[in-house]
Amino acid sequence: MEAFSLYFISLLVVFISFSLPFLCHRSDSKKCKLPPGTSGLPLVGETLHFYLSGPEKFIHQRMKKYSDEVFATSLIGQNMAVICGAAGNKFLLCTANDFVSPWLPAVQSRFSNWVVSLGKSRKDVHTKIHGFHQAVIMSPEALKQYIPIMDSLTRQHLQTDWDPFQVVKVYPASQKLTLILACKLVLGLDPDRAQRFSDSFAVAQQGFFSLPINLPGTTYNRAVKEVEKLKQEFLKIILERKKMVLENREKAGSDILSRTLLDENVHLLSDLEIALCLVSLMIPSFESTSSSITFVLKHLSELPHIYDMVYKEHMEIAKSKDPEELLNWEDIKKMKYSWNVICEAMRLTPPAIGSYRVAKTDIHFAGITIPKGWKVLWSPFTTNKNPKYFPEPENFDPTRFEGDGPTPCTFIPFSTGPRMCPGKEYSRFLILVYMYNVVRKFKLQKLIPDEKVLYRGAPYPASGLPMSLQPH
C-alpha cells in the first residue's frame, strides 16, 4: 500500500509539474497568439502517439491539421513548438541563436549535469565543448588520418561478422563496428573493451526519450544508473591516459583523447568536460551513424541499378590500388556518386529525429509567439519529403544532390548553423568506408520485404534488417 501511494504521489507531482506551464501559458493566450495544436493526454501528452505512429507521420499529420509553419504539442513532459519548413529551419538554426539555448531530454541532460554540477551553465559547457570539437577534434584535416584505420577495422569486421555467414543482421552488425571504431579512434581502446560501452549505451538510449520518472524499475531509472556508470568509466580512462601522457608524451596515441590531452588549450577543460566531449562523440556514432549505414544498404538491396553504379565507382577505386592498400582521403573524394546515394537514403530516412532548443525569451515567428520556457523541436521530417522542395519525394533519386543540390535549409541531416553536428565528417567517412567494403564483397538480398521501422533517437529496423549475402 505504501509503495502504491508513493507511485501515485510521484505521478501526481510529475503531472502537475508538466501541466502547470502549459495551463499558465494558455491563460495568457489573449495577450499573444500561441502556436496551434494540442497538449494531448494528461502527463504523457502526445509522446506515445509520437513513437507509435513514428515521427514522420506524427509531424506530417499536424502540419496538415494545424500549420505548416509552426504547431504546438506536448512531448516527453514538455510544452513543445515544432518549427517547420525551410524558413523555419533557417530561423531556428541560424537566426534565433540569441533567443534559444540547446536543450536535452531528461536522461540526455544527465550528461550535461556532469559539468553543470561544477557550477557552470549548460550553455557555457555546450559552447566550450562545441568549439573544442570543431577546432581540435573534428576538423576534416584531423579526421583524414583516421580513414585508413576505419578501412582496416571494417575489413576485420567483415571477416569475422560477415564472411562466415549466409545471413547477417545489418543493424546490430553496423552498431558493433561503429562502437569498436569509436572506442579505438576516440578512446584508443582495443575492440575487446568495447562491449562494456555497448550495453551501457543501449540502456541509456532507451531512457533518452522516456518520461523522467526516477522510480525503481522504470526505463528512466535504469538509464540514469547507466549514465553514472559511464561517467565513472570515462573518468577512469581519462586519469589513466593523463598519467601516461605525463610520464611519456611520445607514448600518446593518435586517438582523440590523447590528442585532446596534448593540446595546449586542454587546461581550459576539466576532466568532466573532457568526458562529456568524448561521450557526445561516441553516442551519435553508436546510434545515428549505424542507422545511416543500415538504411543505405537497405536501399542498395532494393535498387539493383543504384547498386550497380555504386559498385562500378568502387571497383574503379579498387583497381587503382594494391589489394591490401587501405583507403585514404584521395579515394574518399572519388566517391561522389556514393555520397549522393547516402544523402538520398538520409533524406528518406533521416538518421535523427531532430534536435531541441529552449526559448530564453518569447520568440516571434510567422505571426506566432512561442512563450519563454517552451521547448522547440527542429526535425528534418518537416522538409525531407515535402514535394515543394523534392519533386516525387518518395522516389529514390541520387541525382537530386548533383550540382548545387537541394534548396538551402531543406536537407540538413546534420543540422546547420552554429550548432551543426561536429561529427558530420566523421560520419561521412565511416559510412563511405563501410559501404565500399560491403558492396565490393557482396550483393545483398533483403529477407523481410516490409520490415517495420521503429524509433529511439534514430530509426532502426524492427528485426535488425536480416540480409542474405551473395559473395562476388
Q: What is the pTM of this model?
A: 0.86
> What is the pLDDT at residue 119?
42
- Rounded Cα distance between 35 and 54, Å, is 22
Q: Flag whether pLDDT at 28 surpasses 90.
A: no
What's the whole-number average pLDDT of the chain?
84
Residue among 316, 108, 332 at smallest CA distance from 210: 108
CB distance 174 to 298 below 8 Å: no
Asked if the structure places residue 304 within a domain, the reply is: no
In this predicted structure, what is the pLDDT of residue 330? 96
Q: Are 410 and 389 spatial neighbours (Cβ–Cβ below 8 Å)?
A: yes
Greater pLDDT, 32 or 378: 378
pLDDT at 111: 53
pLDDT at residue 100 tops 60:
yes
Residue 286 CB-density burial (10 A; 0-12 exposed, 13-18 middle, 19+ buried): buried
pLDDT, tens only, 120-157: 444 555 555 555 555 555 666 778 888 999 999 999 99
Q: Is the pLDDT of residue 115 over 50?
A: no
pLDDT, residue 133, reads: 52
Please list, residue by residue across 437-456, b when 16 or more beta carbons sit within 10 angstroms of its beta carbon and e when fewer do.
bbbebbbbebeeeeeebebb
pLDDT digits (tens, 9 = 90+) for 29-76: 456 799 999 988 887 889 889 988 999 999 999 999 999 999 999 988
Please tell me the least confidently modeled range out of 93-97, 104-108, 143-147, 409-413: 104-108
Distance CA 13, CA 122 (A): 25
Q: Is residue 372 part of a domain?
A: yes
Decide if 115 contacts 262 (C-beta within 8 A). no
Flag whether 85 is in a domain: yes
- List beta partners, residue 167: 468
List of residues 6+ apart from 450 with CB closer than 8 A: none
Residue 325: pLDDT band with limits 50, 70, 90: very high
439 compared with 244, residue with greater pLDDT: 439
Q: Which residue has the higher pLDDT, 325 or 112?
A: 325
Stretch 97-120: mean pLDDT: 63
Strands 368-370 and 453-455: unpaired
Distance CA 312, CA 315 (A): 5
More confident residue, 271 or 5: 271
Q: What is the CATH number of the domain that holds 46?
A: 3.30.43.20
DSSP state of 54: -
Q: Is 84 annotated as a binding residue?
A: no
Mean pLDDT of 248-253: 71
Any domain includes 398:
yes
Q: Does residue 210 belong to any structural domain of this protein?
A: no
Confidence grade of residue 24 (pLDDT, cut at 50, 70, 90): very low
| The predicted structure's pLDDT at residue 192 | 76
| Domain presence at residue 224 | no
Is 49 part of a structural domain of the chain? yes
CA distances from 310 to 239, 294, 438 (A): 45, 16, 11
What is the arithmetic mean of pLDDT over 365-393?
95
- Residue 16 burial by CB count (10 A; 0-12/13-18/19+): exposed, middle or buried? exposed
| Residue of 252 and 335 predicted with greater confidence | 335
Q: Using one digit for the tens of pLDDT, what is the confidence trace for 440-456?
A: 999 999 999 999 999 87
Is 116 inside any structural domain? no
Residue 159 cell numbers, joined:
571477416
Helix H, strand E, coil C: the string for 369-409 is: EECCCCEEEECHHHCCCCCCCCCCCCCCCHHHHCCCCCCCC
Mean pLDDT of 363-369: 94
Q: Which amino acid is at 15?
A: F
Burial zone of 201 (CB within 10 Å; 0-12 exposed, 13-18 middle, 19+ buried): buried
In angstroms, the CA 206 to CA 209 distance is 7
Rounded CA separation 297/288 (Å): 14
Q: Which domain holds residue 48?
A: 31-106+353-412
pLDDT at 116: 42
Q: Reply yes or no on whether the pLDDT at 252 is more than 90.
A: no
Distances (CA, A) of 395 to 142, 307, 345, 384, 399: 36, 15, 11, 12, 11
pLDDT digit string (tens) for 202-215?
Answer: 777 777 666 667 78
How many distinct structural domains can be found in the chain?
Answer: 1
